Amino acid sequence: MKSIPYGRQHITQADIDAVTAVLKADYLTTGPKVTEFEEKFAKYIGSKYAVAVSNGTTALHLCTMVLGVNQDSKVITTPITFAASANCVRYCGGEVAFADIVPNTALLDIDKVRTLLEAAPKDTYQGIIPVDFAGYPVNMEAFRNLADEYGLWIIEDACHAPGGSFTDSKGIVQNCGNGNYADLAIFSFHPVKHIACGEGGMITTNDKALYERLQILKTHGITRRQDLMQENHGGWYYEMVDLGHNYRIPDILCALGISQLDKADAGIKRRRAIAKKYDTAFAGLGMANFQPADGINHAYHLYVIAVKNRKELYDALRTEGIYAQIHYIPVHTLPYYQQLGHQKGDYPKAEKYYENCISLPMYPSLTDEEQDFVIKQVLKNGQS
Ligand SMILES: *Cc1c(COP(=O)(O)O)cnc(C)c1O
CB-hemisphere CA count at 13 Å for 76? 29
Q: What is the pLDDT of residue 286?
A: 83
Structural domain harbouring 65: 4-261
pLDDT at 106 over 90: yes
The C-alpha torsion from 94 through 188 and 270 to 262, rounded to 10°, is 140
Nearest to 294 by CA among 165, 195, 205: 165
CATH number of the domain enclosing 134: 3.40.640.10
The whole-number pLDDT of residue 1 equals 64
- What does the pLDDT read at residue 285? 86
Q: Are residues 99 and 200 in the same domain?
A: yes
pLDDT of residue 284: 83
- For residues 113 and 159, membership in a common domain is answered with yes
227, 261, 295 - which closes a domain:
261
**Ligand 1 atom with minimal separation from the 59 CA:** 9
Do residues 291 and 201 share a domain?
Answer: no
226 CB-contact burial (10 Å; exposed 0-12 / middle 13-18 / buried 19+):
exposed
**Domains contained in the chain, number:** 2
Query: 78, 101, 133, 188: which to mutate for ligand 1, most atoms within 8 A of CB?
Result: 188
- Do the beta carbons of residue 127 and residue 152 sit within 8 Å? yes
Mutate to test the pocket of ligand 1, among 6, 55, 57 (most ligand atoms within 8 A of CB): 57
Domain match, 240 and 357 both: no
**Angle at alpha carbon of residue 371, lines to 198 and 324, rounded to 5°:** 55
Instruction: Report DSSP letters for 75-133, one per residue.
Output: EEE-SSS-THHHHHHHHTTPEEEE-PEETTTTEE-HHHHHHHHHHSPTTS--EEE-B-G
Q: Is residue 372 predicted with pLDDT exceeding 70?
A: yes
320 CA → ligand 1 middle, Å? 28
Ligand 1 mean position, distance from CA 238 (Å): 32
Identify whether residues 230 and 301 lie together within a single domain: no
Q: What mean pLDDT value characterizes the chain?
A: 97
What's the pLDDT band for 371 if we cut at 50, 70, 90?
very high
Q: Is residue 224 domain-shared with residue 316, that is, in the same domain?
A: no
113-134: per-residue pLDDT in tens? 999 999 999 999 999 999 999 9
Compute the average pLDDT of residues 78-102.
98
| Residue after which a domain boundary falls, among 261, 290, 322 | 261
- For the segment 36-58, what is each residue's pLDDT rounded down to a tens digit? 999 999 999 999 999 999 999 99
For residue 74, the CA-to-ligand 1 centroid distance in Å is 21
Residue 289 confidence (pLDDT) above 90? no
Distance 58 CA to ligand 1 centre (A): 9
Alpha carbon of 84 to ligand 1 centroid (Å): 6
Per-residue pLDDT at 287: 86
User: What atom in ligand 1 is closest to the CA of residue 199?
Assistant: 7
Q: What is the CATH number of the domain that holds 306?
A: 3.90.1150.10
Lowest mean pLDDT among 185-189, 287-291, 337-341: 287-291
- Is residue 257 located within the same domain as residue 268? no
- When computed from its CA atoms, the radius of gyration of the chain, rounded to whole angstroms, is 21
Query: Who lines ligand 1 at CB under 6 A?
Result: 55-57, 81-82, 84-85, 131, 157, 159-160, 188, 190, 201
Percentage of the chain exceeding pLDDT 70: 100
The protein residue with its alpha carbon nearest to ligand 1, atom 4, reads: 56
Cα 8 to Cα 48, 189, 198, 276: the distances in Å are: 30, 12, 11, 19
Residue 302 has pLDDT above 80, yes or no: yes
Q: What mean pLDDT comes out for the span 228-234?
A: 95
Residue 288 pLDDT class (50, 70, 90 cuts): confident
Atom in ligand 1 nearest the alpha carbon of residue 84: 10
- 249 and 271 part of one domain: no
Looking at 173-177, 252-256, 264-268, 282-286, which range is the least confident one?
282-286
Q: pLDDT grade, residue 268 (50/70/90)? A: very high
Note the helical H segments in the chain.
Answer: 13-23, 32-45, 56-66, 84-91, 110-119, 140-150, 208-217, 251-261, 264-282, 310-319, 335-339, 348-356, 368-381
Q: Which atom of ligand 1 is nearest to the CA of 160?
A: 15
CA-CA-CA-CA torsion sign (213, 69, 337, 358): negative
Q: Are 324 and 6 in contact (CB under 8 A)?
A: yes
Q: Are residues 125 and 26 in the same domain?
A: yes
Best of 58, 85, 132 for a ligand 1 pocket test (most atoms within 8 Å of beta carbon): 85
Q: Are residues 111 and 252 in the same domain?
A: yes
Closest residue by Cα to residue 166 from 138, 133, 144, 130: 138
Type of residue at 55? N
Confidence of residue 301 (pLDDT cuts 50, 70, 90): very high
Say whether both 98 and 186 belong to one domain.
Answer: yes
- Of 244, 261, 278, the residue that ends a domain is 261
Residue 182 pLDDT greater than 80, yes or no: yes
pLDDT of 22 over the 70 cut: yes
Task: Mark whether 61 and 24 lie in a shared domain.
Answer: yes
Cα 379 to averaged position of ligand 1 atoms, centre (Å): 31
Is the model's pLDDT at 218 over the cut of 90? yes
